[in-house]
Copies of this chain bind each other. A is one copy, B any other.
């Protein structure tokens, strides 16, 4: 179960690490597309594009359906949701960490300022 989630995160981030695949996702935002259309758009062989689509599909970022001889690709939310959850958790934790650091820095500045004033106006 935990392993499963880890593997799926691996798959989602790995899928997103390729500019062509991110391009495919952005293309599918405008409309669904067949493998042939995607291959032409991204100037590569059908076989090459098919592999990208398989990667995206296994990561849960696209879903496909074959009717007749054409396989139509459309967006799938699962993979993106999982990646988004992990990233947002990180951002929240990190921001509290950075906020704490900011406070330390602010405190240092406050003391420094007080110190400067003491120097200028003793007692």
Contact = CB atoms under 8 A, between A and B. Distances in A.
5 contacts: A13-B13, A13-B16, A29-B93, A80-B87, A81-B91
Nearest to A19: B6
Q: Which 8 A-B pairs have the closest CB atoms?
A: A13-B17, A14-B17, A13-B16, A84-B87, A29-B93, A13-B13, A6-B19, A75-B94
Interface of A: 6, 9-10, 13-14, 16-19, 22, 25-26, 29, 75, 77, 80-81, 83-84, 86-88, 90-91, 93-94, 97-98
Given A13-B13, A25-B90, A84-B87, 7 more contacts: A10-B18, A14-B17, A16-B17, A29-B90, A29-B93, A80-B87, A80-B91
A46 B81 CA distance: 34
Contacts of A75: 94, 97-98
Contacts of A97: 29, 75
A91 B87 contact: no
B10 A17 contact: yes
A72 to B, nearest CB: 14
